[in-house]
Amino acid sequence: MPGRSDMPSADVVIVGYGVAGASAALAALERGASVAVLERFGGGGASAISGGIYYAGGGTNIQRDAGVEDTPELMLEYLQLEVGDAVKPETLQKFVDGSVGTLDWLQGYGVPFEGSLAPFKTSYPTNDYYLYFSGSESSGMARAATPPRQRGHRAFGRGVSGKALFAPLAASAERLGADVWRQTRVADLIVENGRVVGVRGMTLRDAPGWVRRLYSRLTDYATKPGIYYPPMRKALEGPAYALERRFARPFEIRANDGVILSSGGFIANRELVRRYAPAYLDGLELGTAGDDGTALKLAEPLNAATGHLDEISAWRFIVPPAAFLGSLLVDAKGQRMVDESRYGAALGKAIVQKAGGVGYLVADKALVKRARQQLGSQTLWFQRIQAEAFLNVGRKKARSIEELAAKAGIDPDALARTVSEHNQAIADGTPDPLGKPDDIRVPIGQGPFYLFNVSIKTNMLNPCPMLTLGGLVVDEETGAVQTTSGTAIPGLYAAGRAAVGICSNSYVSGLSLADCVFSGRRAGTESRLDTVRRS
């Protein structure tokens, strides 16, 4: 390989071009490295189809504009509850301490943010608001530990604004000289004397224009709306891959300093999900076809260590409308399982781990009436469609709690006891046993009563999106991929959901994208030939 003078090369070769890959590219370019980015589709990955929420705090300029008084200490107190032992304490401290500066860095590259503060609890704000409680900050669990602060910074743009976060970073990287190979699939790492020195694969880079345009259209539609209708995804991916097999040509590219894997997670790989987290097979795959565990497959021959592969985030959002914070989430036995004011991923985790994937919301006439009144002001169009379907299709209604339970196959006495104990605790002024804040609790006492199915099994009207949180174990100072014996693999780095990171124990909106930027910049900065790996 060293003798191949015709082989293309770059100081840093990045596999995967989402927010993590773009951040890595910018960081490498900032230190004067040449960069080649290899992207399987058109760029953006799961980042571009996300809501574009970036978790930041400690007193960002956006928080100050909105009148939110935050400090790094308060941010750390909350994130310690969510992050746990996913990373070392000093890594979380570094993430928190750099939060204000990192948001400034994003804005410096053109990512737009805005400080309109959402006045209600929601899973995703309407186009009127761009700063909100994007996690469990206002839940009973968090309030007991630290004052709640809004830290969900939504990139400014109508609808889901993932592209508003990714596109400026990509444009900046390419303006500064990143060589982006789109429609390029990486198949293997090239290793010399134990060091990763490049990659090989197949590319449509030099294919006829009509091939590239058709491939792009097929894969774009396979991603979205195909993400919400899996049969469409499969139908479109087949012709796309046929084009790839016919027209793609083999390539090799040398990495003078290092290779960075930022190719996403593995939620689209049913075999890996079945192996590591079979309880989550019924959820909706939130990602692109590129989220197939490419990083894991590439690094496996090098004895790379992996972690948290059994951690999958299942999003069972019950808001908007905010009125549903007052409902009761029960299992098939009629028993509550979690404070309903927690973030939707915490609810999903409870439904999977405590109730075998089955869950129901119990509400009464007054609560449902408030929910309907809030639909117009608290939902975007896609949330409105889901909420209307949720309220009107498939729900059960009865004059009594016992009758309601019987219709759902739940023990009538158990559900009646759960509701009675909840109402009595409110009347007595005693704390909620699961920690729900008093200002959210409402009695369930005015018939008719309603039961809504929030089980994990995916359906078109009320899907439960999921993404993987685990990946390759990396040195937390450099981002270098580690072996199972704890040593760094020379020349190989990982970032974003290809790696274990800040959100690998617990997900809240914006924390994954924030970790993509944090870990991407780390890998782009540290991927040097002369870097001393610290394990």
Cis peptide before 278 (omega within 30 of 0): no
Contact 329, 342 (CB under 8 A): no
Phi, psi (degrees; rounded to nearest 5) at 453: -80, 115
β-sheet bridge partners, residue 38: 15, 181
Q: Which CATH class is domain 316-453?
A: alpha beta
Q: What is the CATH topology of the domain spanning 10-49+161-200+253-313+467-533?
A: FAD/NAD(P)-binding domain (3.50.50)
Q: pLDDT at position 106, please?
A: 98
Residue indicated by tokens 């914070």: 325
Q: pLDDT at position 230, please?
A: 82
How far does the chain reach from its first CA to its final CA, in angstroms? 29
Percent of the chain with pLDDT over 70: 98
**pLDDT tens readout for residues 43-75:** 999 999 999 999 999 999 999 999 999 999 999
Kindly state the average pLDDT of the residues 394-423.
97
Please count the other Cβ atoms lying within 10 Å of the Cβ belonging to residue 195. Answer: 14
Measured at the CA of 523, the angle between CA 521 and CA 524, to 5 degrees, comes to 65
- Which amino acid type is present at position 296? L
Contact 495, 519 (CB under 8 A): yes
- Model's pTM, two decimal places? 0.96
**pLDDT tens readout for residues 239-251:** 999 999 999 999 9
Q: Flag whether pLDDT at 190 surpasses 60.
A: yes
d(CA 496, CA 130): 23
**pLDDT tens readout for residues 440-471:** 999 999 999 999 999 998 677 788 999 999 99
Residues of the chain with CATH 3.50.50.60: 10-49+161-200+253-313+467-533
Please count the other Cβ atoms lying within 10 Å of the Cβ belonging to residue 145. Answer: 10
Kindly state the average pLDDT of the residues 160-168.
97
In 3-state terms, the chain is what percent helix, strand and coil (to 5)?
Answer: 40, 20, 40
The H or E element that residue 80 is part of is helix 72-83
- Which amino acid type is present at position 180? V
Q: Flag whether pLDDT at 265 surpasses 80.
A: yes
Residue indicated by tokens 């008719």: 448
Contact 118, 131 (CB under 8 A): yes
Residues of the chain with CATH 3.90.700.10: 316-453
Measured at the CA of 190, the angle between CA 189 and CA 193, to 5 degrees, comes to 125
**pLDDT tens readout for residues 94-115:** 999 999 999 999 999 999 999 9
Q: pLDDT at position 1, please?
A: 42
At 467 the three-state DSSP class reads: strand
Closest CA to 76 of 97, 60, 105, 55: 97
Please count the other Cβ atoms lying within 10 Å of the Cβ belonging to residue 377. Answer: 13
Phi, psi (degrees; rounded to nearest 5) at 54: -120, 120
Q: pLDDT averaged over the chain?
A: 95
For residue 195, give the DSSP letter.
E
Please count the other Cβ atoms lying within 10 Å of the Cβ belonging to residue 392. Answer: 10
**pLDDT tens readout for residues 306-347:** 999 999 999 999 999 999 999 999 999 999 999 999 999 999
Contact 164, 155 (CB under 8 A): yes
At 311 the three-state DSSP class reads: coil
- Report residue 4's pLDDT band, with 50, 70 and 90 as the boundaries: low
Q: Flag whether pLDDT at 488 surpasses 70.
A: yes
Measured at the CA of 485, the angle between CA 258 and CA 493, to 5 degrees, comes to 20
**pLDDT tens readout for residues 110-137:** 999 999 999 999 999 999 999 999 999 9
How far, CA to CA in Å, does 274 sit from each of 140, 290, 310, 363, 497? 34, 18, 10, 34, 18
The H or E element that residue 94 is part of is helix 89-97
**481 token code pair:** 């991929």
At 14 the three-state DSSP class reads: strand
Q: pLDDT at position 458, please?
A: 67
Q: pLDDT at position 528, please?
A: 84
- Report residue 231's pLDDT band, with 50, 70 and 90 as the boundaries: confident
**153 token code pair:** 């910074």
The two beta strands, 449-453 and 360-364, are: antiparallel
d(CA 38, CA 184): 6
Cβ neighbours of residue 21 closer than 8 Å, sequence gap 6 or more:
14, 15, 37, 39, 45, 260, 262, 263, 495, 496, 520
Kindly state the average pLDDT of the residues 192-218.
97
d(CA 223, CA 52): 16
